[in-house]
Amino acid sequence: MMKKLTYILFTLAGVLAFNSCSDDDVVPGNPAMTPKTEFSAALYGDSLPFTINVSDMDVPLSTLKAQLYYNEDMVSETVIRTKTSDDYSGKIFVPYYANVPSGRATLKLILQNIHFTTTEKEYLVPLSRPDFPYLTFVTADGEYRMEREELYQYSVADDFPQKIKGYIKSPKVGENGNVLTFGLENGVIAQGPLTDEITFSNSNAGNYSIHFNTYSYAASPFVKLMLNGKEMDMIDDDNYKLDLTLSAGQELLFSGIPNFEAWWIDPSFFKKEEDNTALSFLPIAGSYRIIVNFKYEYIYAEVLKDGEPATLQTDGSGAIWIIGNGIGKPSVSANQVGWVTEKALCMAPLGNGKYQTTVVAGQSMRADEIDFKFFHQKGWGGEFKNDAISTTSDLVFIGAGNDVNGRGEGNLGLVDGKTFDMMGIYTFTVDVSAGNTKAVLTVTKIGEEAPPAFEATFDGTVMEMVGADTYKVEKTFTQGQTITVAGISDLSSWWIDPDFFTLQGNQLTFLPLAGKYRVTANKTMKYFIVEAMNGDALATLQTDGSGAVWVIGDGVGKPSVWENHVSWDTGKGLCMAPVGNNKYQLTLVAGQTVYTDYINFKFFHQKGWGGEFKNDVLSTTSDLVFVGAGDNVNGRGEGNLGLLDGVTLEDGVAYVFTLDLSQGNGNVKLTVEKK
């Protein structure tokens, strides 16, 4: 054993000695380079070209680096692999920054061989800012040429909306120039390809000028939104906020809101002064967040605690929140809360354990169906179930769950045969003065609002108001019928459902099979909802395959899945268009009316729960979607649709979902095709 160990040590010593001798014999090499490019003046934003001859007669080469320095800071680098001696060409970008005057940069060339031996050369490159002949303001709706007013200063005047989003791009200047783009990055204007659009805003829509300075990146106009002399913070393009300590009766004075007198003000928190220039605050004293929403033009408030949305405390102080279907401000049809916790409505604290919200039936609350409940926080967690809240209202009931009365535990519903009066003003008051587990709900009608003016005719029939922004007509239409619409001046800007209509001028052509239909005009979201009828009721699927098929679930919504997601709200169920031979059609545009990367909806016999197409009756050979098998077999419930693995719908492309019931309701075929 000792002899074997001695032999191993002797062998290792020999190897180490050999390696030591080899290290001493390493040849460092002699990398050499000869630039074949004359580095003269350049412009910020250029891609500076170069050609370098490189060689090393002793050792293979590794890399050639071109590095650009502004003072001591390296701002750009290009690395080229150089395995053999030869000429190598490349480009290095000359960054374009704000507030950097003309000057000189240092271009450093570094050649390295595989033994890390390097040689370097440095060149001073004079740089100047390009003088663009013009710029282009690029928006989703078109491009606008910005003319040069003076050095670095550009502007364009046109008829713009009050807020307009876009980015600015330059033309190429010089032989080595690039198209440069300017947009938002971390909330400030920057140059670079990875930038968001800039949102310009004016006090009013109409003809105004947009300005941009390519030296300082100064731009205008941006409306400065003020509340009681303090500037409000931007949450996103549509929302601004300001946290304040307020007391009951305190005046709130806004500036920077165009057409303020026409804005909707949450009556739970505010009262508009007679001169339409200020608001009076209604709830008890405390800390509040005031939010201004430009998308829907309304102002609302939330109760705060230590700068965060407040929660209900054990002593009954804090806040109570509303989440669910059938309610939404300023309009339930355009901004329903649904089961989206981020959209929860805060009730106004009145003091002594009482909280209240004020709604208008047909406007901020559905007149014929509600399904919302009260929560302790702006999200899931504590909630008022039927064992913690009661009511003696003759209009609404509190759900008991387990299908006892058609609502989940604590969810509100309308008593059978009851509806809210259209445009009636109602208060919902929750009183927790006896304890959070002994809450009492009171529902009171306190007045009525005048219906908004909207006189539209559809195929010669005056449309009947069913909500503050929805109007309907129920008629028999024939396939190919021409329908004249009057009273809607901006019909060309409305979204037209491709399953039911085509539009030319003020005339629609009806596409589905002949029959009776309900057409509902949503003037806020600017589209027509079309639903098949059977007599005076919405149609349901019949045993012979006639009638109607409805779509409910995630990933779809008209006119926009982003703004009017169906989800599992049966009131938003989509009626498929009957197109003949017991066939029903739904056309969806990826990125608009359907998500590109996720769907989870299914087909029903009615606009609500009941008969549905499960996987035992529905099949497809589509290479885009699959039919769920339930029991966690393939990630979808029985009959729910999903996208096949690796499938993403092409943004902006229309897909036609067709159900064929010609072989009976128990043998239904689904096809999905690009339009």
CATH topology assigned to domain 457-674: Immunoglobulin-like (2.60.40)
Q: Is the pLDDT of residue 16 over 70?
A: no
First to last CA, the chain: 83
- How confident is the model over 477-505, as a mean pLDDT? 95
- How confident is the model over 390-399, as a mean pLDDT? 97
Under the banding of pLDDT at 50, 70 and 90, the label for residue 1 is very low
Of the listed ranges 106-110, 271-275, 371-375, 537-541, the least confidently predicted one is 271-275
Q: Is the pLDDT of residue 234 over 70?
A: yes
Does the bond joining 133 to the residue before it have cis omega, within 30 degrees of 0?
no
Helix %, strand %, coil % of the chain (to 5):
5, 45, 45
CATH tag, 32-128: 2.60.40.10
Q: Is the pLDDT of residue 89 over 90?
A: yes
Q: What angle do CA 228, 233, 235 make, to 5 degrees?
A: 135
Per-residue b or e along 479-507, where b marks 16 or more CB atoms closer than 10 Å to that residue's CB: eeeebebeebeebeebbbbbbbbebeeee
Q: Is the pLDDT of residue 182 over 90?
A: yes
- Whose CA is closest to 227, among 192, 189, 253, 188? 253
Helix (H, G, I), strand (E, B) or coil at 574: strand
Between these two residues, 14 and 126, which has the higher pLDDT value? Answer: 126
Q: Is the pLDDT of residue 605 over 80?
A: yes
Predicted local confidence at residue 631, as pLDDT: 79
Predicted local confidence at residue 204, as pLDDT: 79
Predicted local confidence at residue 196, as pLDDT: 85
Predicted local confidence at residue 194, as pLDDT: 67
Q: Which residues neighbour 314 within 8 Å (Cβ) at sequence distance 6 or greater? A: 436
- How confident is the model over 43-71, as a mean pLDDT? 94
pLDDT tens string 614-668: 999 999 999 999 999 987 778 899 999 999 999 999 999 999 999 999 999 999 9
Predicted local confidence at residue 534, as pLDDT: 96
Reported as type and span, the H/E element at residue 335 is helix 332-335
- What letter would DSSP give residue 401? S
Residues 345, 482: contact at Cβ < 8 Å?
no
Please give the radius of gyration of the chain, using alpha carbons only, rounded to the nearest integer. Answer: 34
- Whose CA is closest to 375, among 354, 346, 348? 346
- How confident is the model over 263-288, as a mean pLDDT? 93
Q: Where does residue 91 rank: exposed (0-12), middle (13-18), buried (19+ CB within 10 A)?
A: middle
pLDDT tens string 573-591: 999 999 998 999 999 999 9
Q: What residues does each domain of the chain span?
A: 32-128, 134-220, 224-309, 320-332+349-449, 457-674
Predicted local confidence at residue 10, as pLDDT: 38
Q: Is the pLDDT of residue 22 over 90?
A: no
Between these two residues, 256 and 463, which has the higher pLDDT value? Answer: 463
On whether the 224-309 domain is CATH 3.40.190, my answer is: no
Q: Which residues neighbour 6 within 8 Å (Cβ) at sequence distance 6 or greater? A: none
Between these two residues, 225 and 605, which has the higher pLDDT value? Answer: 605
Percent of the chain whose pLDDT exceeds 70: 96
Predicted local confidence at residue 23, as pLDDT: 47
pLDDT tens string 436-457: 999 999 999 999 998 887 889 9
Predicted local confidence at residue 403, as pLDDT: 76
Domain 32-128 shares a fold with domain 457-674: yes
**Token pair recorded at residue 469:** 């922004």
Mean of the per-residue pLDDT values for the chain? 92
Q: Is the pLDDT of residue 552 over 90?
A: yes
Percent of the chain whose pLDDT exceeds 90: 81
pTM of the model: 0.70
pLDDT tens string 123-145: 999 999 999 999 999 998 899 99
